[in-house]
Each structure stands twice: as C-alpha cells, then as structure tokens.
Structure 1
Amino acid sequence: MTDYERTLADLPDDWAIATVEDLGSVVSGGTPSREIANFWGGTIPWVTPGELTSLNTKTLHLTNESITDEGLRQSGANLLPAGSLLVTTRASLGYCAINSVPVTTNQGFKNIVFRQSSNPDFYYHWSRKISSELKRRASGTTFLEISGSDFKQIKLPAPPSAEQQKIAQILDILDTQIQKNAALIAKLEKIKEGLLHDLLTRGVDQNGQLRPAPDQVPELYKKSASGLIPKEWEVRQLGTMSEIVSGVTLGGPQPSSSWPLVAYLRVANVQDGYLYLEQVKFLRVKPADVEKFRLIPGDVLMNEGGDFDKLGRGTVWEGEIEPCIHQNHVFRVRTFPELLDPYFLAYFSGSSRGKAYFVKSSKQSTNLASINSMQLKAFEVPVPPFAEQSAIVDYLRSYKKRLELEGRNMGKLKAQKTGLMDDLLTGHVRVTPLLKDAV
C-alpha cells in the first residue's frame, strides 16, 4: 500500500471515495500551429505549465498568451469554463490553479471540469497531497507524463458538499493571510533597497534624520571618486582601514591526529548578508594556524569569487561557532576600531555600488569571477564619521529586524496552514460542528 492509499484508507467512514472521472469531466489541451499567425493573439486565454509553476495564488486571472477562435477550432485546445481545476501532468507534475475566466491550455494539462456537487476549491487544496500519486502513475523517458486514462482513475475523497465548502473557506482564509504577508515582505524589501542606497550615499544628520538629497541642498555635498558624498565624509581604500587575511589552504601534508579539530567556513557558508551554518565542515590544523586564522566577533567575511553572485558577497561574523577558522577562498576583513564599523562595511560591500566594484575589478572567465587581496585592499569605501556609521548601521539593523519578524510570521502562518491541511483535508478534525453552528 502506498502512502497515498494509506491516506485514503484513513479518511472518515462517512466520506465517500471517488475517482477523478466520477467528480467531473477530464479535458486535455493543445497548441495551435505557431506557423499560422492568425491562430494567435486573439481573445481566448491560453495557459502553459510554466505559468502555474510560478503562480503564487490559487486563482489564475491572466495568461501570457492568447489564441483566436480559429486557433481554438484548428487545434486540440478546449475552452474550459471558469472554476475548472487546471492540473499540470507533463514534465512539471501536480501544479494547480483555478481559472477565474474561461481559458484554454496546452497539452501539458489534464483539467477537471467539476460537476455541481464538487467544490473546486477543496480539490485545489487536496492537490497538495496528490503529488506522490501523480509521480507514481507517470511514465516517460524524456519527461514524465500521465495519460488521460490513468489520470481519470486517481482516487480522491468526496466529503459532503457543505463540508468541502467549509474546509476550503478555512484554508482560503489562511492563504489570503499568507499572500498579504508575502506582499508586505516584498514591499519592505523594496523599501529597504531604497533606504540602503540613501543611507550609504546621504547618511544621517546630527538629529538622526536622513540628509536632504544633493539636488535639494547641494552645499552639504562634495565631489569624490565615488561621486557626490556628504562634506563630512571621506573616501578611503579598505586596506588602510583594516587587516585583510586569506584563510587556510586545504590539502598538503597529512595532518597530525594531535592537531586540534576545528570548524572552518567555506564559500558556501558565506551568503549575501547572512551565514549558512547548517553544513559546517571540520579539519585538523596546526595550533599556530588556529590562532592565525581564528575568527573573532566583528570580522567581515567576504568571498574571493566563484559564480558572479558569490563574488565579494559577505557578512559579519558574530562568534556563532568557537573556535572557527576560514578557508583561503574566504577573506577575513578585520576593521580598525573607531575607524570603520564592520557592519557599515558589510552593508556597503553588499550594496549595488559595492557589487559593481567587485564585478568590474575581478578576473573573469566563463560564468566565473574572482578577486585577490590587492583588489580587495584597493576597494574604495565612502567613510562617514564613526558615530554616523553607527547611526546608519542602527537604522538598517532595526529595519532588518522588522523584515526578520515578518519572515517569522510567514513561517508561522505556513506551519499553521500545513497543520490545518493535514487535519481538515483528511477529516482528522471535522468541521461539522461549525456547520451546525451556522444553521
């Protein structure tokens, strides 16, 4: 018995089990000939699986392409009424959406037009549980695909209509909350980008407020190698404000078993603005090298290179593992106290201006780039007075905390939805008391 069959066997006794074709009609799609121009650009929406894999909502409103009435007649496409369940069954298996307007699909779908007694919203939520069954039934060498006959025979729960509707309503409410939270996070991220640019180019005044822009008060700014900067700032090379060290080189003679075993950070651990520490490796190194390469809180870690997105990316070490050293492909930048705030450096190096410098000065080959310590030392950083650096960092860190809070809220909402889906869709928790209360 498969996991899916066990799930069905554990459903409430008063829930029926039905096949897909018991619940509605299965309608496939098709693609009009691309060689005939008047088949395309009409008023009939036409959907591809790729549009569902990137869709973050239950309902599909718009499509990238459309076909004409003639294109519909001259192809295997079929017009689906609004409220159908679109299901991808070729290559990308099990992505679903409910169309808000009549649409057609290509041949990568098996779509369900439900009879009146079945609720499409309920089966949209149930589709999250069916992926293993779709993969089990699929076949193919180039890509997996489910035949129409196999798809029709997939078994689904069929609770009473009122229960289907109430379950879908509850899960829809959570989906709406998740979408609102995602939209808020996206908005905050966009604001953060603008805020980061403004703070790193305009800074804050003595009252902790963002300085007016140069076009508003030009007398507050001066020209520099980095463009216009506040008059109190200066531009200095990173090598004059920090100690820059490459890490331990792997390989070489067999290490002694008496040497200490320590954690070391690789390029994969140093992400853009954070550390990924779920997979940290260990190695034995000479005691002298432990002290030479040991990280201390406040060290800025920056990647030597690799893929373009890894070039120069980094973050601040906060003593997460002790002791810990770093690989030679990760630079350690230890800023001089009262001269350069490590968090200010991390924010600037991760900004668009910082990343542009690393790409421009790097040694590049196909899809790869790298910087050396000399180029990193020559990295020009606009430097506010130290107190202003700290104020800018506090500003950005408080905003980061807001984003992290919303991220945690998102995690809680998703966990809550997963739990409710497991309980409600399987009937382990019944909504029948809610139905009785509504009467």
Structure 2
Amino acid sequence: MGGEWPEGWQRVKLSDAGQWLSGGTPSTANDAYWGGEIPWISAASLKDFHIGHSDRRVTPLGARNGSRLVEAGAVLFVVRGMSLKSEFRIGVSGRQVAFGQDCKAIIPAEGIDPQFLAHAIQVRTPQILAMVEETSHGTGRLDTERLQELEIGVPSEEVQRRIIAAHGVVERRIAALERVRAKLKAVEGALTVEAFGSIDSHGLKVPLESIATVTAGVTLGSEPVGEDVIELPYLRVANVLDGRIDTTNLKKVRILRSQYERYALRSGDLLLTEGGDMDKLGRGAVWDGRIEQCLHQNHVFKVRCGDEMLPDFLALYTSSKAGRAYFQSVGKQTTNLASINSTQVKSMPVPVASLAQQEKVLGPIRSVRSRIAVTDRRIAKLRIVQRGMLESLLSGNVGSTLVYA
C-alpha cells in the first residue's frame, strides 16, 4: 500500500513522523535501579498494542541511568529479537514507561495521532519483516534507517480519529472471541494438570532419549553445489509455534542427497524450538506431514517417538506447566534470548504411561482443542477483514462510510 493518497493527505516519511528515541537497560547489578513502579518494556514484554505493563520494573533512578522514559502516547516497536523473525511488535504507551535497547520509540509530531501512526506502520508489516536481518546469534535485527524511509499518508485529525474508531469496532469483536478462547485454554490447562497429576503420582519418569530420538537440523550457511544436491523447504523457528506449525512462509535450503534422511521430517515428529524468550523455550507442535519432503533447521529439534510414546501425548507434556518449568530451569539466558541444547532435551524427564492411559488423557483435551481451533479460525478471519479494512482506509479510500459516516 502507499504511493498515492487523496488530496489533503500529507505524504510523510517515518523519519519525519515524530521524534525517534532509543532505549537502554540499567545495570542489573544495581538494586537501586530495579523493582520500582515504572514498567520496563523489552522485546519480550512488548506483546500488546496497548502498552502499560511489564514483569520488569525500574525506579526513576534506573530510568535516568541507562534506560529511556516516555509518557503516554509514544509509539514503541521491536527492532531486535527472536520475535522479529515471525512478527513485528508495535504498540502505544498508555502511561509512563521505560524501554530497552531492543525497542525504539516515536513521539508523534503535532497533528499525528499515536494510534493512527502505530496502525499506519503496522499495516506495512510485510515490508518491514522483509527488512529484518538475521544476526550471528540467530535473532532478528531491523535496520531502522531503512524503516525511516517508508512513507505514510496522513489525513486530517478528524479522519484519523474515524479510522481509529473503525478499527476499534472490529477489535472489540476480536476481543470477545479472545475471551472465549482464554476460557477454553483454561479448561485445557486444568485437564492437563489433572491428567499429569494422576500420572505423576506414580512417580515414574524416564529420560526422553530412552523413548525417543532427538536430532538437530540443517545448519544454514555454506550450501553445497553439484549434481548430488537437492533443494527443499525447511522449517525454522518462525514456522514452529506453540501448538501448531505455520507453513505460509517457507524458505528453501540445499543439502546433499545423502543427508536427506538425517534432516527429513516424518508425520508424527514433534518439533521443539531451541531458543527465544525464556517463556517460549521448547515450544513446539507435532508435524502433520502436510508437505511431502520437508526439512528442519538446526534451531529446531526433531523428536521422533518410539512405540511407547504417542507424539501428541509428548507434545502435551512438553507444553504443560511441568514441561515449561523444566526448559526454563535448564535454559541459558543471554542478553537477547534464552536457549536449550540437545543434551538438555534428551535428558528431560517424561512420565511413564501406557498407550491406553495416554489415549485416555488425550480424549477430552482433543475435544477442547477442536473448539479452540474453531475459535482461532474465526479470530483469524476477523483479523484478515480488519487488516484489509485498515489498509483500505489508510490508503485513502475516502468513499468508505466507516471513515466518513
């Protein structure tokens, strides 16, 4: 979108849309900087469009020494982190917050509403993600100089308010469905706790490597050439989500034909991510074989179960409270991300249960997950409608009654 806007709209480069600010991290060795009342926003905590909460908080002293303060109405977005490999996180501060070096902020110029500016940037997500580069640590990095060159159309403040209101109508419908989804997830969680509470009461656990094989995938970099080379799609961290696999944006890699069996996926393989935010370590899903020949990257572990373990049961356990707790207990935290290694995955204690017990556990949970999937599809459809509507309005389709009614 972009390029031509109606008469009366201003063409504005993002570099001129407001004051750009960089963040920072106060010294974690100084207790006087942390534990205050000011939310400290990082790539990990910037998850909602309306920004106002974070698990980590700084004091006014901490904000002045190493971080950056912004008031309500600042547009914040992630410029470095694992999340950039699959999504562009952006939002508007609803109160005074501080933010880290993995984020940038824009204080909108006079005449530009913060929510309008955030939406105008957000609808350019495909272009923005195309600018993301991968660092040596496997995280994403956004070149802000390139981002600043993007142009947006800015109408009058009245039209801006009407565009925001139109967006809000759909957002409230989505929010209602998300509340339904949250209740269903709570039911799923309760069923999982109940199921594993009964199984764990027997106290029998074995290392994962005793009932499954764990392997890493293709290391990207220097790819082979020649007659004995094949090029195939592969799953990377961005494709492996919590409970599902997203194949809408697959990349390809070349490998030697002799390496195919080593890196190939089979239906029923459990895929677990190696790194990311600490609370997302070991997230994963079972591969359904939707692509006949597909590989996995080295940052995604492939877990292939033997005859004693159902992949869905193992996936349920790795995503359970106990499974998450294990990955967080062994994960290694760095400045930008956390990670686990194959030895830790292989050593993960998993409960012993008969196949009949596993099927019994999975029955009611599959039923709830089916309802969650239906809700997810409804939310996804509304998101598509919302995005299309917003793109249309932000491109200046002034005939829309949503804007001028």
Question: Is the TM-score greater than 0.5?
Answer: yes
- The partner residue of 1:379 within 325, 344, 354 is 354
Q: Is the 8 A contact 1:39 1:68 kept in 2?
A: yes
CA contact (8 A) 2:75 2:114 kept: yes
Partner of 1:89: 79
Q: Deviations over 1:339-375 (max 9, x none)?
A: xxxxxx999888769x99xxxxxxx9663489xxxxx
Residue identity opposite 2:268 in structure 1? V
Cα 1:398–1:140 shift into 2, 3 Å: closer
2:14 to 13, 20, 33: 20
| 1:403 aligns with one of 348, 359, 372 | 372
Output the CA distance in 1 between the equivalents of 2:15 and 2:196: 61
TM-score by length of 1: 0.53
Q: Does 1:62 align with 2:58?
A: no
Give secondary structure in 2 for the equivalent of 1:187: helix
Give the Å deviation of 1:400. Answer: 4.9
The equivalent of 2:120 in structure 1 is 126
2:141 aligns with 144
Greater relative CO (CA pairs within 8 A, separation 6+): 2
Q: Matches of 1:41 and 1:225 in 2, distance apart?
A: 36
Q: Partners of 1:156 and 1:225 in 2: how far apart?
A: 56
- Indicate how the Cα distance of structure 1 residues 199 and 163 shifts in structure 2: closer, same or farther if over 3 A, else same: same
Question: Which SS does the other structure have where 1:64 is aligned?
Answer: coil
Shift of 1:86: 0.6
- Report deviation, 1:34: 3.3
Distance 1:12 1:171 in 2: 20
| Aligned residues of 1:200 and 1:348 also touching (Cα < 8 A) | no
Stretches of structure 2 that go unaligned for 5 or more consecutive residues are 203-263, 271-284, 295-299, 323-341
Asked if 1:367 is matched to 2:345, the reply is yes
CA distances 1:154-212 after superposition (whole Å, capped 9, x unpaired): 4222122222222222223323333332332232133135447779999xxxxxxxxxx
1:45 aligned partner, one-letter code:
P
Q: Give 1:258-407 correspondences, 5 Å limit.
A: 268-270=266-268, 276-280=288-292, 310=303, 312=305, 367-368=345-346, 379=354, 381=356, 399-407=368-376
Residues 394 and 90 of structure 1: CA distance in aligned 2, closer, same or farther (over 3 Å): closer
8 Å contact 1:311–1:369 — kept in the other structure? no
Q: 1:186 corresponds to which letter in structure 2?
A: A
Counterpart CA distance in 2 for 1:154 and 1:350 is: 42
Match of 1:230 in 2: none
Is 1:185 aligned to 2:193, yes or no? no
Q: Secondary structure at the match of 2:61?
A: helix
In structure 2, what is the Cα distance between the partners aligned to 1:408 and 1:136? 26
**Structure 2 residue aligned with 1:106:** 100
| CA distance, structure 2, for counterparts of residue 332 and residue 35 of structure 1 | 48
Aligned to 2:237: none
Find the aligned partners of 2:131 and 2:192 in 1 and give their Cα distance: 50
2: CA distance between counterparts of 1:347 and 1:139? 34
Secondary structure, aligned partner of 2:77: strand
One-letter amino acid of the structure 2 residue matched with residue 87 of structure 1 = F
The whole-number CA distance in structure 1 between the counterparts of 2:180 and 2:268 is 27
Change (3 A) 1:138 1:58: closer
SS of aligned partner of 2:24: coil
RMSD: 4.7
Query: Partners of 1:405 and 1:414 in 2: how far apart?
Result: 14
CA distance in 2, matches of 1:34, 1:366: 27
Contact 2:163 2:403 in 1 (8 A): no
How many angstroms does 1:267 deviate by?
5.9
Quick check: 2:37–2:59 contact (8 Å CA) kept in 1?
yes
Per the alignment, residue 161 of structure 1 pairs with: 157
- Go from structure 1 to structure 2 and tell me whether the alpha carbon gap of 1:267 and 1:162 turns closer, same or farther (over 3 Å shift): same
Number of paired residues? 294
Aligned to 1:340: none
Quick one: structure 1 residues 41 and 366, their matched pair in 2 at CA, closer, same or farther if it must change by over 3 Å? closer
Cα displacement (A) at 1:82: 0.3
CA change 1:366–1:226 in 2 (3 A) is: closer
CA contact (8 A) 1:197 1:351 kept: no
Q: Does 1:412 align with 2:381?
A: yes
1:29 is the counterpart of 2:27: no
User: Partners of 2:201 and 2:36 in 1: how far apart?
Assistant: 51
Separation in structure 1 between the aligned mates of residue 362 and residue 104 of structure 2, nearest angstrom? 53
Residue 83 of structure 1 aligns with an amino acid whose one-letter code is G
Gaps of 5+ in 1: 1-6, 203-223, 228-265, 283-306, 313-328, 334-344, 357-363, 371-375
Question: Secondary structure, in 3 states, of the residue corresponding to 2:70?
Answer: coil
Residue identity in the other structure for 1:59: H
1:172 to 163, 168, 172: 168
Question: Structure 2: how far apart are the matches of 1:137 and 1:85?
Answer: 19
Q: Distance in 1 between matches of 2:365 and 2:131?
A: 51
Q: Provide Cα deviations, 1:291-327, integer angstroms capped at 9, x if missing partner.
A: xxxxxxxxxxxxxxxx998465xxxxxxxxxxxxxxx
CA spacing shift, 1:379–1:45, aligned 2, 3 Å: closer
Cα–Cα, structure 1 residues 65 and 332, in superposed 2: closer, same or farther, change >3 Å? closer
Q: 1:30-88 CA deviation, whole Å, 9 max, x = no partner?
A: 33333433233333332222222xx1x3111212323333333333x332110110122
Q: Secondary structure at the match of 2:12?
A: strand
| Structure 2 CA distance for aligned equivalents of residues 59 and 436 of structure 1 | 25
